[in-house]
Amino acid sequence: MTIDRIRALELHRKARGKIKIYPSMNVQNEDDLAMAYVPGSVPAALSIAEDPLLSYDYTGRGNRIAVVTDGSAVLGLGDVGPHAALPVMEGKCLLFKLFGDINAFPICLDTRDPQDVVHCVRLLAPTVGGINIEDIASPNTFTVVRALRDSLDIPVLCDDQQGTAVLVLAALVNALGLVEKKLETTRIVVMGAGAAGVATADLLLKAGARNLICLNSSGILNEANPRMDHIQTELALRTNPEGLKGGAAEALEGADVFIGLSRSRALEAEQVRRMAPRSVVFSLALPEPEISYEAAVAAGAEVVATGAGESHNSMPNLHAFPGIMRGALDVRARALTDSMLLAAAYALAGVVDKRQLSPMHIIPDPFCDEVAPRVAEAVAQKAIEEGLAAQPLPVGQVYNDTWQRLYGSNMARI
């Protein structure tokens, strides 16, 4: 999608930030002031001192998250640093609010040390009910997320990792249904072994994929690949069961599915033509896909999706992250597990009515009013099932509450 640079800059200049803080209490006189600040805050503070979990009842913590980055891998821009990352993080916070009614705040850290990020997030954790790690370069992003998940009792989401993985799995479930293939028996090629590619491969394996091949810039991940970091080395041990060597041409020969999370124009039409009949191509690189929608269809792919733009099956991550975090927050989940992510993916896939599935419609419109409510409900119920919900809720309540927050009489106000 082409953006008018001058118009975009002017909109940012006028907005002076995409999110703002508004009061939730009226302060019109001294009594109101005393109740809102001191001494009115004292009873709440003393209660929380005795039981820290009461911070969810007496403060806004339960609907507040931090969106944390070091600016080292900003979407479409790369390593631009924490200052330049700020408008993108503000945009992400806006999306959390608009599509999940979640109060999200950008935290841009001036460091490249993942341990610094971990330390800072641990220190600010009492202020929030959840963490979203955003646009930190691989492999540091995995170091940060793993450390935080091991040490915090609040959900930790990385949209670059889990958000992408959930979206891809959801779309793939529907695509494979159309081409009459099963996840367990398809040969899947994931091009790109950064944060999104590794996380997507991991979730596909957990969903039941058995023949998965991953590539980085030096080719297929295997013992002969000279440029694997420790995360890719771990993944190599769990993928490529046929022991293939080489690059994209070797990996795609006879493959059923291509998932591109790499770089623009990395896939050739001839490589698509050499895939198996009724192939699926997800070309998700930004700002330009590995191969265009039109070129992939012309080369014989039956189902094609791209990362963004105006073509059919556009797949921005917006489908996944607001609902995932909404569901986790509503039941005060103490963690975000693989089972919760799988539940989110299957719920997202189910938003598209089976009667409406077609090669040009495998994923719902992100503005569909069923997306966030269904994903949130699925995540919440899985958290309850796994014993990770500090506030279990009846079946259907999270769906109904989310729908009302976003589209009903109680819809969110920015």
What Å distances lie between residue 319 and 215, 253, 330, CA to CA?
A: 26, 31, 18
Active site residue 97: no
Residue type, position 345, single letter: A
Out of 92, 97, 181, 382, the active site residue is: 92
Is position 234 annotated in a ligand binding site?
no
Active site residue 37: yes
Is position 135 annotated in a ligand binding site?
yes
Out of 14, 18, 37, 97, the active site residue is: 37
CA distance 319 to 213: 26
Side-chain-side CA neighbours of 80 within 13 Å: the count stands at 13
Is position 302 annotated in a ligand binding site?
no
Please state the residue numbers annotated as binding site for a divalent metal cation.
Answer: 134-135, 160
Q: Which are the catalytic amino acids?
A: 37, 92
